[in-house]
Amino acid sequence: MKFVLAKAALFAMFILAGASAASTGEGVPASVHYIPHDQVAAVMAKGGPIINDPGLLVLANRREAGAVEYHEHTNHIFIMVDGEATFITGGTMVGAKRTSPDQMTATSIEGGETFHLSKGDVITIPAKTPHWWKEISTKTVGYYAINIESK
């Protein structure tokens, strides 16, 4: 009997924790999302959001090299689907400018860690980590960006 009660209490705590996370926007999906491959392909062609839940944003991105980015609360997971790039994380931002209360951009990074990203690679970038698409040998890269907002 104690085992059944303990199991029921554990299950209830799991459900309440899940509901609490979804309602506060902690990067947990608020509902089930199904996006068919043709719709995902169409979004990837132009770039944009695939899923937009409180605290969780999934984007299909196509981009060229650009400015350094820094986000106070956004954690990234990038999944490469096309192209090749030199990607830098960490280091010191050069010419940093605040673009909003939670974000900065810069012209380059001194130091940091260099990665050669290509199709099939996955990289995670924690919040408060400068990151830079420094060089893109294929002119553009295509990738899915899973953005999880932290407090």
pLDDT of residue 15: 40
Enter the tokens of residue 101.
Answer: 């209360």
Are 23 and 48 in a shared domain?
no
pLDDT of residue 88: 98
Are 41 and 25 in a shared domain?
no
pLDDT of residue 31: 85
Are 70 and 141 in a shared domain?
yes
Domain span at 10: 1-30
| Cβ-proximal residues to 15 (8 Å cutoff; 6+ apart), any chain | none
pLDDT of residue 134: 97
Are 41 and 66 in a shared domain?
yes
Within the chain, which residues score under 70 in pLDDT?
Answer: 1-26
Are 14 and 54 in a shared domain?
no
Are 48 and 15 in a shared domain?
no
DSSP type of residue 4: H
Are 81 and 145 in a shared domain?
yes
Residue 35, Ramachandran bin (φ over 0: left; ψ between -120 and 50: alpha; else beta): beta
